Amino acid sequence: MMNRFFLAVLCVLFTMSSSMAQKHTFTVNDTAFLLDGKPFQIISGEMHYPRIPREAWRQRMKMAKAMGINTIGTYAFWNVHEPERGKFDFSGNSDIAAFVKIAKEEGLWVVLRPSPYVCAEWEFGGYPYWLQNIKGLVVRSKEPQYLKEYESYIDRLGKELSPLLVTNGGNILLVQVENEYGAYSNDREYLEINRRLFVRAGFNCLLNTCDQSKDVEKGILPGLLPAVNGTNSPDNVKSIINKINNNKGPYFVSEWYPAWFDWWGEQHHTVPSEKYAQQLDSILSAGISINMYMFHGGTTRGFMNGANCYDTSYYQPQISSYDYDAPLDEAGNATEKFMVFRGVIERHLPKGQRLPEVPATKRTIVLPRIAFKEQTSLASFLPKPTEGLRPLTFEDLHQGYGYVLYRTRIKGGDSGVLRLKDLRDYAIVFINGKRKGVLDRMQKQDSLWLSIPRGEATLDVLVENMGRINFGPNLLKNKKGITQEVLFNQKEVKGWKMFSLPFDRVDSVKFAKSGGVTEMPVLKKAVFQLEAVGDTYLDMRAWGKGCVWVNGHHLGRYWEIGPQQTLYVPVEWLKKGNNVIEVLELLKPGQNEIRSVEKPILSSLRSQ
């Protein structure tokens, strides 16, 4: 009897909680969004769950509330959730449902942007690399193989997120279909397929498109809410939307930019807060909803940065810091821009509403000087190679990211030009373990002069994937490695061994005491102790090029050319007592010391 009683009580409680969860409605009229039937102005701040340590999601959201943000915008990243075909991951830092639920707990709504193409200065615009291994597949098209993989992914994403829609009692107000499609094409049938796939996956809520102002008419689909990106003029926003939406709103700027992102070899972008404060005020005064891109950028860790390549004349891989000169800096602290924007938003709060106090700036520490006493040459931990007559791409090797070492034997006693046709993206060339030069796609370099010593020599070419293109027509030209033939003195070099070095983890590498001289890249390891933890920034100015792990977390890439010269180490990834740091150094194997600083260095360029 007692068990039945408790079961009955649980059923009643479940029914009550379900009815309470479904109390909100989100609709539109001719001028505004309506939350529970009342006008609601979305003031959204974009931040991306993979760019923030999971342990810090809540802190970043509290900061959003303190600036006056009422909604969080985020993309969903296909290559994060399906890194290999059919193998889905929604755990740890990839747990997007947990991210949305924490937002709800903090009193924030969510604008979801699954696309599945996201751009976002993210590797391949969010597409998983393995799509390129399916012969004939064409992304962002009606090609059947693409639609099949797309449907599989969006269905799986729907299982995670459809219960969190406002229509189902959750806090996701709005879901975006595709992403700036008008800048790419204008196929309405393709957009309609997108809409149907979203609805079938359970996204039974208000759906929208988004496009740059000049492309809106090409990227809209009747029945979906149109939104405009990248404009600060209220009159312009309303004129564009009225023209395509029969003089109706609501009016939504789905990407309102307070600043911009950075790429290697170019100056750090900053925009004074005063420049945009007045524009923010005017756009809010006009009742227009916005999604601030970015409110908080965070860090593009690992090898997940994308690259600019609007035509074939240049290639610009983005840096690991996604600071963006955003209101909330890379570590999650309020900037001057944050305080100025907070003041603007505060003037537009509903009567009687007050903003929370701004949380204190997080603690920053300086690490003790770290000396590396263990290291191993890259040549000493090569895996079993794949062999082929000609070089294979990363995709051919079923490898998404990192590095591939291409090795062959070459007849000596000759000099000439070595050419790597269509190199993607960065290569270091060695003869018998001696470095002979660097080739860089950024610099349009694919050739160098080589003198081969007498006898048979070993030619090694270490190639780095510096990031797949994330925007524009070259999205379809994204294979990595040596993508065509290798020529020496205009004759093809054949007979290659290819060693996959994805560097997805480093804990299985065996180290030895530092010693011996090598020109090959090295992996170094050290242990440092902390009595107290805090955020810090590794100072990489004395180093050449590579990446860093702390306690197993990949912090991102560094490169002496700048503008980024530090790597952010979140407090959440440090601990009292022993901490482990590993550095992969490609160009300066003799460097053996690292220091940290209290503030990031994001604007220091050096000539190449």
**CA-CA distances (angstroms) from residue 365 to 241, 368, 531?**
49, 9, 11
β-bridge mates for residue 162, sequence order: none
> Is 80 exceeded by the pLDDT of residue 311?
no
Order of strands across the sheet with 496-501?
Answer: 386-388, 496-501, 403-411, 456-464, 426-431, 434-440
Residue 74 confidence (pLDDT): 98
Q: Which residues contact 144 (CB under 8 A, 6 or more apart)?
A: none
Q: Which two tokens stand for residue 218?
A: 């090409």
Q: Which two tokens stand for residue 287?
A: 């009742």
Query: 16-30, 126-140, 436-450, 559-573: lowest mean pLDDT where?
Result: 16-30
Q: What is the pLDDT of residues 261-300, one digit of tens each?
A: 999 999 999 999 998 999 999 999 999 999 999 999 999 9
> Is 70 exceeded by the pLDDT of residue 534?
yes
The pTM assigned to this predicted structure is: 0.95
**CA-CA distances (angstroms) from residue 229 to 218, 247, 399, 563?**
14, 19, 35, 27
Residue 254 confidence (pLDDT): 98
Phi, psi angles (nearest 5°) of residue 56? -105, 0
Residue 19 confidence (pLDDT): 37
Residue 185 CB-half CA count within 13 A = 12
Where along the chain do its domains lie?
39-346, 370-376+505-597, 390-494
> Is 60 exceeded by the pLDDT of residue 5?
no
Q: Do 39-346 and 390-494 show the same overall fold?
A: no
Q: What is the pLDDT of residues 389-408, one digit of tens each?
A: 999 999 999 999 999 999 99
DSSP 338-386: HHHHHHHHHTTSPTT--PPPPPPPPPB--PPPEE--EEEEGGGG--PPE
Q: What average pLDDT score do residues 525-552 get?
A: 98
pLDDT, the chain, mean: 94
Name the residues annotated as catalytic: 180, 255
Residue 275 confidence (pLDDT): 87
| Element at 20 (helix H, strand E) | helix 2-21
Fold of the domain spanning 390-494: Jelly Rolls (2.60.120)
Cis geometry, peptide bond prior to residue 425 (ω within 30 degrees of 0)? yes
Pairing of strands 172-177, 109-115: parallel
Residue 515 confidence (pLDDT): 64
Fold of the domain spanning 39-346: TIM Barrel (3.20.20)
How far is Cα 224 from Cα 209, in angstroms, rounded to an integer? 7
Counting residues of the chain whose pLDDT is more than 70, the rounded percentage is 96
How many contiguous H segments (helices) and E segments (strands) does the chain have? 10, 35
- CATH 3.40.50.720 is held by the domain 370-376+505-597: no
